[in-house]
């Protein structure tokens, strides 16, 4: 597995651009809220640690991961952000619903990156079980939200 030997929360602050002059949108799925809230906390803490101002971090909630694409698009169109982080969690169940939601969400976020000059960072966990999600949202593998925030800073600077 890709994160088996990697802690997602480790970054060298000296190699990350200062985020003081950047605005970030964070769109958070309410589905699997225990996981998405932890991912949000990781993202927010990393942005602040890298110099982002609290007033330049805008959070919107959407019902589920499928709705992240629309929420991110509206964020881009209305909030003058330099990057958006789309946070979600889809945990495999007994039906193919998992496959449809994961595919549509990934495709939708990819489409936003092609259509707009504002990067949208994919911070959607697509795990087989709750423990894998916990491990990647502040557990033994760190926090994917932290990793997404660092990517958002780097991509926002690239986009300027």
Q: Which of 6, 97, 140, 160 is catalytic?
A: 97
Residue 117 has pLDDT above 90, yes or no: yes
**Mean pLDDT of the region 51-75:** 98
Mean pLDDT of 96-121: 95
Q: Is the pLDDT of residue 2 over 70?
A: no
Q: Taking the C-alpha atoms of 158, 88, 5 and 93 in order, what is their torsion angle to the nearest 10 degrees?
A: -150
At residue 4, the pLDDT reads: 56
Q: What is the pLDDT of residue 93?
A: 82
Rounded to two decimals, what is the model's pTM?
0.94
Contact 40, 28 (CB under 8 A): yes
Q: Using an 8 Å Cβ cutoff, are 143 and 155 in contact?
A: no
Alpha-carbon span 121 to 11, nearest angstrom: 17
The first and second tokens of residue 1, run together, are 């597995």
Domains of the chain with bracketed CATH: 38-159 (3.40.50.960)
Residue-level pLDDT at 92: 92
Residue-level pLDDT at 98: 86
Q: Is the pLDDT of residue 116 over 80?
A: yes
- The answer to whether residue 97 is catalytic is yes
Query: What is the structure's pLDDT at 131?
Result: 96
């Amino acid at each position: 597995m890709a994160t088996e030997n990697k802690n997602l929360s480790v970054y060298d602050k000296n190699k990350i651009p200062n985020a003081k002059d950047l605005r970030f949108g964070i769109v958070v799925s309410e589905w699997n809220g225990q996981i998405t809230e932890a991912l949000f906390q990781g993202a927010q803490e990393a942005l602040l640690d890298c110099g982002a101002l609290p007033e330049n971090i805008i959070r919107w909630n959407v019902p589920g991961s499928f709705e992240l694409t629309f929420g991110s698009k509206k964020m881009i169109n209305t909030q003058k952000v330099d990057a958006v982080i789309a946070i979600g969690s889809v945990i495999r169940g007994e039906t193919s619903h998992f496959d449809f939601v994961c595919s549509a969400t990934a495709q939708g976020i990819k489409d936003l990156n092609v259509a707009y000059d504002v990067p949208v960072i994919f911070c959607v966990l697509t795990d087989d079980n709750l423990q894998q999600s916990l491990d990647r949202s502040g557990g033994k593998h760190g926090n994917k939200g932290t990793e997404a925030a660092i990517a958002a800073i780097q991509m926002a600077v690239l986009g300027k």
